Amino acid sequence: MNENVQNYPGYAGGGAVTAERNRVLRNTYWLLALSMVPTVLGAWVGMAIQLNRIMTPGIGLMVFLAGAFGFMFAIEKTKNSAAGVPVLLAFTFFMGLMLSRMLAVVLGMSNGASIVMMAFASTGGVFLAMATLSTIIKRDLSGIARFMFIGMIVVFVAGIASFFIQSSALSITLALLVSVIFSFFIMYDLKRVRDGEETNYISATLGVYLSIYNVFQSLLMLFGIGGGGDD
């Protein structure tokens, strides 16, 4: 039967379809909120053990890439099993550890705490705005998403290149692009859940979490470069 007919409010199964989509969206929001706990814990542990001093930038990049892609592969393999949620939460703890290196640098600035709070509040505002837009926008965003995905790949490659180039101008440009691209992906991923295109809440949570993480990190970099001051 045609999917558009199934989703029509008057169709007998329409209520069940809507209920299932709401269930996935609700679980996504709950798991997303839960994932922030190990992220904060990981960041605290990373700063407590001074991970930014233990790990050189080169080693840090390799550990981050290997760990992130390894965890994402594991999440994809376990998303339909009982192990899916623990693996996702372990991943968010790892991401918190990696984030601790930047947090340690920013908090070492005279106004570091205010920069972190400003980045946190701004990220929350972005998430709220994108979540709201996901309920308002009705058009198909797949075409724009393909364009944004290409932009994400370009930014990823340029980000690795900036590790060797060490240019403040390039870092600022990349941070701006990352904040815009991943803000869009927050809206896009949530809309996919609302439209019934994503039916696994673990996969949905992973996508939204990564977008929020990248938006926060890019804003932290922008505010740190723009308003940071050393003691």
* pLDDT for res 227: 64
* pLDDT for res 142: 82
Q: Which residues of 173-199 are buried (b: 16+ CB within 10 A; e: fewer)?
A: ebbebbbebbbbbbbbbbbbbbeeebe
Q: Residue 18 above 50 pLDDT?
A: yes
Q: Residue 6 above 90 pLDDT?
A: no
Q: Residue 61 above 80 pLDDT?
A: yes
In the chain the first and final C-alpha atoms are separated, in Å, by 67
Instruction: Please say whether the beta carbons of 138 and 161 come within 8 A.
Output: no
Model-level pTM?
A: 0.87
DSSP conformation class of 230: B
When mean pLDDT is compared across 28-32, 150-154, 178-182, the lowest value belongs to: 150-154
Structure token pair of residue 216: 């926060």
Spans of all domains in the chain? 13-227
Who has greater pLDDT, 126 or 172? Answer: 126
Please state the rounded mean pLDDT for residues 24-43: 96
When mean pLDDT is compared across 36-40, 64-68, 148-152, the lowest value belongs to: 148-152
- pLDDT tens readout for residues 95-106: 999 999 999 999
Average pLDDT, the chain: 87
Confidence of residue 231 (pLDDT cuts 50, 70, 90): very low
Q: Residue 183 above 90 pLDDT?
A: yes
Confidence of residue 168 (pLDDT cuts 50, 70, 90): confident
* pLDDT for res 17: 82
* pLDDT for res 13: 54
Q: Residue 133 above 60 pLDDT?
A: yes
